[in-house]
Structure 1
Amino acid sequence: MATTAALAQPPAPLVDAAGLSRPRRARLPVPRPLRRLAGPLLLVALWQLLGSLGEIDPRVLATPGQVLAAAWDLARTGELASNLLASLVRVAQGLAIGVTLGVVLAVAAGLFRLGEDLVDSTMQVLRSLPVLGLLPLVIIWFGVGEEPKVALVVFATVFPVYLNTYAGIRGVDGRLVESAKVLGLGRLALIRHVVLPGAVPGFLVGLRFALTSSWLVIIIAEQLNATSGIGYLMNQAQAWYRTDIIVLGLLIYGLLGLGADAVVRLLERRLLRWRRGFDGN
């Protein structure tokens, strides 16, 4: 009873150096999105400060204020929207083909040993090839239009999706498979209710890498024989030493990658409600 009474008592007030008690201050919780933005905002503030003090030459690196002014000018003339749309269309087309192809190949190699023998060794060889090193060959195959840019995105996205989805299929717990067989599930039901759901986490990891790779590739592809796109805009700005437009293009690519990662996180919360993992608390 004494222990219970002691636990029920409120915490003792804080005591200062003079021996006087003072009330304990309640801390206001800071929203997590605000905490995540604190680091980038401090970096931008320091960047602006150094530029305003003349410590950074605008011809070498434009200040955030100059970047915002360039964004306003390009948005007002419509150049920013048209070039951004061109980049989004190319990435969307390449992702649609690359992700679909990666999933199909991963399912074929993960579910069937013959598929593994025919597909996995070939994919392991091809994935070691440098994507940008294929650019001259892709131009010879597809010309200098839209096809080579989309093809490079496909090549950059198919392998992360394949490797992680294949690993997810083969990493399904064997005890679950045995339990499903004991319950009388046939092969198709086993694949549908056990194997494929168990491979979803691996697929989402591969999708996240694929989204990042798509933007890394398109920024280079659009600077070669392109007439539109954010990469084309940056290439044109390089000729006039417009570092404000170049930095703006890089920021757009970064924000697009951040948005794509947020979409994958949303999918993870929706599709993986059954899985509870460590969240850093």
Structure 2
Amino acid sequence: MSAVTTTEAAVTVAPAKDTPQVRRRRRLSPGRRLPAARLAGPVLLLALWAAASAAGQLDPAAIPAPWTVVRTGAHLWTDGTLPTDILTSLQRAATGFVIGLVAGVVLALASGLTRTGEALIDGTVSLNRAIPTLGLIPLFILWLGIGETFKVAIIAIVVYIPIYLNTYAALSGIDHRFVELAEVQGLSRFAFVRQIVVPGALPGFFVGLRLGVTGSWLGLVVLEQINATSGLGYMMFQAQNYGQSDVILVGLVVYGVFGLVSDSAVRLVERRVLSWRRTLSS
């Protein structure tokens, strides 16, 4: 009896040699999103600019100090010049952006959902994309005149191309099994677009939307220096003639702030609309 008990105790105490050890799972995801992380780069750049200016490493005539740019911006704002130019630029950018947005989405849907539309539209847009948009300015001036119309038209072209390309690519990338499932379920054309096409195209659409928002500001910088009497680009062009680098930097800072804010707004809407996706960014 005691021999059996001793044997059982030995069996109980003896460690199992083949028991696998628990391995810690390695985290491969980027981790949690840091609050206001996208502002770290601009803030660091501003700090380096201020430090270099304070140390006398930058020529004030070429690159004024940040506090000089702030004083100049405050002066332009109080005398009414900066608010008027900002409002004019916003109107031009918004009008061209809306036209380009509608055109890009409509053309992408027509090209992505029908073979006839693809044959007529996709090649034409690819040809338009191969031609430098700013190179169309002389031709558009001859067609539309030197006023506001040609500026809005150029901005619309700059906007619609990335929106079309990314939305069309997303439509083309929808798994054909979803289309077959919709056919088996007997979905109508409207229900198919609402339940299959729109969710499948939204990720690509938002990528194109971000590129279009940025493109509208880039095009505006050039267009407002051509026969314009107001706008941020006109203000910068006039400052160039008088050697006012601080005014030029004010315009660039305003353009940069508008671009960052608009891009952040699109990203916020994207995260809300596509909250159902599980991605690295989420």
Report the counterpart of residue 117 of structure 1 in structure 2. 119
How far did residue 38 of structure 1 move? 3.5
How far did residue 42 of structure 1 move? 2.9
Report the counterpart of residue 226 of structure 1 in structure 2. 228
From the superposition, tell whether residues 113 and 98 of structure 1 become closer, same or farther in structure 2 (CA, over 3 Å): same
Task: For 1:126 and 1:208, locate their aligned partners in 2 and report how far apart those are by CA, in whole Å.
Answer: 20
How far did residue 223 of structure 1 move? 0.8
Q: Aligned residues: percent identity?
A: 48
Structure 1: gaps of 5 or more residues: 1-28
Task: For 2:187 and 2:226, locate their aligned partners in 1 and report how far apart those are by CA, in whole Å.
Answer: 53
> Over aligned residues, Cα RMSD in angstroms?
1.7
Report the counterpart of residue 243 of structure 1 in structure 2. 245
Q: Report the residue type matching 2:181 in the other structure.
A: S
1:169 to 160, 168, 171: 171
Report the counterpart of residue 203 of structure 1 in structure 2. 205
How far did residue 105 of structure 1 move? 0.7
**SS in structure 2 at match of 1:185:** coil
1:44 to 37, 46, 52: 46
From the superposition, tell whether residues 130 and 174 of structure 1 become closer, same or farther in structure 2 (CA, over 3 Å): same
Task: For 1:40 and 1:200, locate their aligned partners in 2 and report how far apart those are by CA, in whole Å.
Answer: 29
Task: For 1:108 and 1:37, locate their aligned partners in 2 and report how far apart those are by CA, in whole Å.
Answer: 39
1:73 to 59, 69, 75: 75
Q: How many pairs align?
A: 251
Report the counterpart of residue 97 of structure 1 in structure 2. 99
How far did residue 143 of structure 1 move? 1.3
Q: Report the residue type matching 2:148 in the other structure.
A: E
Report the counterpart of residue 187 of structure 2 in structure 1. 185
User: What per-residue deviation string (whole Å, max 9, x for no partner) do you get for residues 196-221 of structure 1?
Assistant: 22111111111111011111110000
User: What per-residue deviation string (whole Å, max 9, x for no partner) do you get for residues 70-128 of structure 1?
Assistant: 11001111111110000000000001111101111111111100111111111111111
Task: For 2:99 and 2:265, locate their aligned partners in 1 and report how far apart those are by CA, in whole Å.
Answer: 19
Task: For 1:116 and 1:31, locate their aligned partners in 2 and report how far apart those are by CA, in whole Å.
Answer: 42
- Structure of greater Rg: 2
From the superposition, tell whether residues 163 and 55 of structure 1 become closer, same or farther in structure 2 (CA, over 3 Å): same
User: What per-residue deviation string (whole Å, max 9, x for no partner) do you get for residues 149-192 of structure 1?
Assistant: 11110110111111111111111122222222222213332122
TM-score (norm 1): 0.85
Task: For 2:203 and 2:91, locate their aligned partners in 1 and report how far apart those are by CA, in whole Å.
Answer: 27
User: What per-residue deviation string (whole Å, max 9, x for no partner) do you get for residues 219-242 of structure 1?
Assistant: 000011100110001011111111
1:257 to 251, 259, 274: 259
Task: For 1:49 and 1:87, locate their aligned partners in 2 and report how far apart those are by CA, in whole Å.
Answer: 32
2:110 to 100, 108, 111: 108
Q: Report the residue type matching 1:157 in the other structure.
A: V
User: What per-residue deviation string (whole Å, max 9, x for no partner) do you get for residues 51-83 of structure 1?
Assistant: 233221111111101100011001111111110
From the superposition, tell whether residues 122 and 63 of structure 1 become closer, same or farther in structure 2 (CA, over 3 Å): same
How far did residue 30 of structure 1 move? 11
Report the counterpart of residue 32 of structure 1 in structure 2. 35
Q: Report the residue type matching 2:35 in the other structure.
A: R
Task: For 2:170 and 2:34, locate their aligned partners in 1 and report how far apart those are by CA, in whole Å.
Answer: 34
TM-score (norm 2): 0.85
